[in-house]
Amino acid sequence: MKKIIILGSTGSIGTQALDIVRANPDKYQVVALAAGSNAKLIETQAREFNVKNVALFNENAAAELKLKLADTDIKVLSGADGVCELASLCCDMVLNAIVGIAGLRPTLVAIDAGHTIALANKETLVTGGEIVNRKLKEKGVTLLPVDSEHSAIFQSLQGAPTGSLKKILLTASGGPFFGKTSNELQNVTVKDALNHPNWSMGAKITIDSASLMNKGLEVIEAVHLFGVPASKIEVLVHRQSILHSAVELSDGAVIAQLGTPDMKLPIQYALTYPERDMCFESLDLFKIGALTFEKPDTDTFRLLPLCIEAINRGGLYPTAINGANEESVRLFLEGKIKFLQIAELNEKAMNMCENKTDFTVEEIFEADKAARKIVREAVL
Ligand code: NAD
Ligand code: MG
C-alpha cells in the first residue's frame, strides 16, 4: 500500500487522483487531504477514503468542516499553516494539486519531510524552481511531474543517457482562441475563454490555456525540471492534444509520448513510477487520423514570449509575471477586466519587478505581492 497525501483534493487534478485511488483500493491509502474552501466535498472525500487528517486553507470553511466531522475522529487543520502541517505528515508521496503560488510552501515542507513529490502545481517551480531544486538535492528527494507535457518529456527521457537531451518539443493545444487576431479577441467573454477544445481543467489553468500563459509557465517549469535553457525548448501548436510532448536526443532521434487527452495517465504514472499500471482509455490513432504541428502566434499571444523573457532574465521575474497573472486572471473571471488586459497587466507588472538574483522564499512572496498590487492598482 502506497500512503499518499493529496493537496488540492477538491479540484480537477485532485478529484481525478481520487478516481485512480478508487479504482485501485488495494494499492493506495490516502492518509490526508487538503483544499481551499470546499468543506462539503472534502467531507465526502474524507469519509469515503477513511482519511484521518484534513485541512482547509479558508478558516471559516475549516470551522464548518469541523462541525460536519464532529462525529468522527478526523483531525481538521486550517489556514496556510494547517495545509503545510498536513504536507509534512507521514506518507510515501505527496501529490500537490493546489492551484497557484499557494502550492509553493507545501511543496517545500513536503521535501523537508523527505516525501516524494508528484507535482501538478506548476507555480511551485515557476516561482521557487531554484530553491526547490536545491532542496531536492540536499534532501535526496524525488520530484515527479504530473503536468501532461512534462510527464511526456519525463517518460520520453526514460533510458536516454545523461547529457543526450538536445531539445524539448513542448506541445500546446492552442486553446479556444487559436487562429484569432488581437482584434477578434477584443470582446471575448469569460465563457468563450473557459471553452477549452480538448481538456477539462480548473478555471485558472483554462484561462491560462486561452492566453498561452499556461505554455509560458510550462516553458519555465521545463527549464527547472529538465535543466535546459529556454532556448532549447520549442513550442509547437498541436491541435489534437495527442502527442503530449517529445524530446530530441543527440543523434536526432525524436521520442514522444502519445495518448488520449486525459490527465489520469500522467497522474497515475507519477503515483506508480517507475512501474506502469492500468489503462483508463486506449488511444485509437485511426480515429485521430492526422497529427498536425504549427508555430504559435507570439504576436497575438504575447504571454508566451513574455514568460520566456522572464525566465531568461531570471531572478524574480518569473514570480512577478506569475503573481500578476494570478491576479489578472482572477479579475478577468470576476468580469472586471477584458481578456486582452491580462497580457497588458502581466507585462506591466513584470517590467516593474524589483529584481534580485539570490533570493529567499520570503522574498518570492514579497515579489508576488508587489506584482499583484501593481495589477490591482492599474485596474482601480
Ligand atoms: P482547480 O482549481 O480545479 O483545483 C485547485 C485545488 O486547489 C482545489 O482543491 C482548491 O480547493 C485548492 N486550493 C486552492 N487554493 C488553495 C490554498 N491556498 N491552499 C490549499 N488548497 C488550495 O485546479 P486544477 O485544474 O486541478 O489545477 C491544479 C494545479 O495543477 C494547477 O497548478 C494547474 O496548473 C496544474 N495542472 C492542472 C491540469 C488539469 O488538467 N487540471 C493539468 C496540468 C497541470
Ligand atoms: Mg500542461
Where in the chain are the domains? Answer: 2-146, 150-313
Q: Are 202 and 11 in contact (CB under 8 A)?
A: yes
Q: Which residues contact 66 (CB under 8 A, 6 or more apart)?
A: 76
Give the chain's length: 380
Closest Cα to residue 218, out of 310, 295, 115? 310
* Amino acid found at 71: D
Instruction: For residue 182, give the H/E element and its range.
Output: helix 182-185
Distance between CA atoms of 313 and 156, rounded to whole angstroms? Answer: 29
Mutate to test the pocket of ligand 1, among 60, 153, 205, 213 (most ligand atoms within 8 A of CB): 205
- pTM of the predicted model as reported, rounded to 2 decimal places: 0.98
In what order do the strands lie in the sheet containing 143-145? 75-78, 53-56, 28-35, 2-7, 93-96, 116-119, 143-145
* Amino acid found at 205: I
**Distance from Cα 129 to the centre of ligand 1, integer Å:** 18
Helix axes 203-211, 317-333, angle to 10 degrees: 110
3-state secondary structure of 91: coil
Ligand 1: list residues with CB < 6 Å.
8-14, 34-36, 38, 57, 83, 97-99, 102, 120-123, 147-148, 199, 201-202, 204-205, 263
Q: Are 37 and 79 in contact (CB under 8 A)?
A: no
Tens-level pLDDT at each residue, the chain (380 residues): 999 999 999 999 999 999 999 999 999 999 999 999 999 999 999 999 999 999 999 999 999 999 999 999 999 999 999 999 999 999 999 999 999 999 999 999 999 999 999 999 999 999 999 999 999 999 999 999 999 999 999 999 999 999 999 999 999 999 999 999 999 999 999 999 999 888 889 999 999 999 999 999 999 999 999 999 999 999 999 999 999 999 999 999 999 999 999 999 999 999 999 999 999 999 999 999 999 999 999 999 999 999 999 999 999 999 999 999 999 999 999 999 999 999 999 999 999 999 998 999 999 999 999 999 999 999 98
3-state secondary structure of 140: coil
3-state secondary structure of 21: helix
Identify the residue whose cell numbers are 486572471: 329
Q: What is the CATH number of domain 2-146?
A: 3.40.50.720
**For the chain, how far is it from start to end, CA to CA, in angstroms?**
52
